[in-house]
Amino acid sequence: MSTLRGRLLSGTTLAVAVVLLLAGVALYGLVERALVREIDRSLAAKARVIASTVSQSGRKLDLEFVELDTKELFDPERGEFLEVWFGDFLVYPVAPEAELTPPEPTSAELSSDWIDLATGVRGRAVTLHFQPELEEPDDDEDELDEELAAEVEADELVLVLAGDAGAADRLLATLRALLGGVGVATLVTAGAVLLLVVRRSLRPLAALSERVAGIGEESLATRLDATGVPGELLPVVQRVNGLLERLEAAFERERAFSNDVAHELRTPLAGLRATLEVTAKRQRSEEEYTAALRDAAAIAGQLQAMVERLLQLARLDAGRVAVDSESYVLSDAAVEAWEPFTAQAVERGLRVDLDLQAGAQVSADRELVEVILRNLYENAVTYADAGGEIRISTRSLNGDAVTLEVANSGSRLSQSQAADATQRFWRGDSARTEAGLHCGLGLSLVEKATGALAGELELRSRADGEFAVEVTLPH
């Protein structure tokens, strides 16, 4: 597994190596071109000096450089040479036994190229095209035949001068070795320095890691101190602190939820146990046994309903509820879901006002909408004051969404308390005895199901004692 330190070292070392390589190649190229230019300049200067000593007088070609010390111009022992050509005819040196290749025709006055000297080393040759200096002819005939003299008057001569480039090659070889050695030494030194710099730079990260590792379940209230933290790590510290805040809140909710579940289960279980123990203390009549079993069944039904709601909440929290959208009329679903609560509403003397807009369609999962309707109806029937009123209404919002509102009278909640009513096992009062002050799991399920349908939920508690829940679903 690669580490940040390893990536920084390898990446930086590779970058330094590439920079050194490019710099070395560039420096070597510049030095090589400078040396070649200097060799060419020296050879060209010599070639022009030699060319200036060549003159033509009538039909005679005079090569005055022959009388000069050739050691100053070229060294035949080292393979250096001088040639003067006229077309395919070698004017100098006169070597009829040698099969020399004449220079290739070119439009350039002066050109240069690499060659291999007779000694096997590299050499540099310059080729100069020039016209000989004209002089007054003497009475004597020149040494050239008449055909050559006539052509010389109308054409130019070509001078080829070659010199040994061994000194330049040795200098370049030394430069290559020097650049290679300096590059390797620089790379090793840079690697060592980078190792120290990276190790020192990563100390704050190691310290931060130790502080994070020291935070446990019992110390979620701890926050990382950003003092002295490098700017690049500040976002990490802020995100970790935000995560710790969310974890602390989640653990607090979990603890509160566990306590509330235990409290909610303890009451019905204690009632069930008491009913069974009292019934079993002595022989009773058939009617008494039937009443006790009926009470026990009612308590078991409450427990079952609570467990089912907890399971639904758990599935919604985990996102394991499949949402299958379909289009249907919301008012039809609202009427159908109300039927199981009719008897309970009549028993409590509640007036029910249905204000359902015909044809208001929603595009949502039918099962989740039924969960919302059942829990809203149960909440309204349970907490409406006896002889009070329940109002159920639906309406379309410009064809973009449909709202469902379920309201009941007899609420004593303030607006701030109404906003907290979706909390699981939320208590309006500590005793949990007065109607309208106790909200359990129903509204929590409504909130989760509405969120799964990409809808919106709003809770209102009016001054006249009406508690209303409005759900907005997409059309």
What pLDDT is stored for residue 450 in this prediction? 84
Bridge partners of residue 61, in order along the sequence: 56
Question: What average pLDDT does the structure give for the chain?
Answer: 81
CB-based burial of residue 319 (10 Å sphere; 0-12 exposed, 13-18 middle, 19+ buried)?
Answer: exposed
Q: Over 70: is that where the pLDDT of 1 sits? A: no
**Which sign, positive or negative, has the C-alpha torsion 20, 25, 26, 28?**
positive
364-414 pLDDT per residue, tens: 888 888 888 888 998 899 889 999 999 999 988 876 788 999 999 988 887
Tell me the C-alpha distance between 25 and 22, whole Å: 5
224-265 pLDDT per residue, tens: 887 777 787 788 888 888 888 888 887 776 776 666 667 567
298-343 pLDDT per residue, tens: 888 877 776 776 776 667 666 666 677 888 888 888 998 898 889 8
- Is residue 60 within 8 A of residue 149, CB to CB? The reply is yes
Residue with structure tokens 């290559």?
176
Q: What's the average model confidence in pLDDT over 80-107?
A: 77
Q: What is the pTM of this model?
A: 0.50
Which of 11-25, 107-121, 180-194, 320-334 is the least confident region? 320-334
pLDDT band at 150 (very low <50, low <70, confident <90, very high): very low
Q: Over 70: is that where the pLDDT of 125 sits? A: yes
Tell me the C-alpha distance between 191 and 186, whole Å: 8
Q: What's the average model confidence in pLDDT over 102-111?
A: 82
185-218 pLDDT per residue, tens: 999 998 899 889 888 888 887 888 888 888 877 7
Q: Over 80: is that where the pLDDT of 79 sits? A: yes
Give residue 163's identity as a one-letter amino acid code.
Answer: G
Q: Over 50: is that where the pLDDT of 42 sits? A: yes
Strand order in the sheet with 54-57: 60-63, 54-57, 133-135
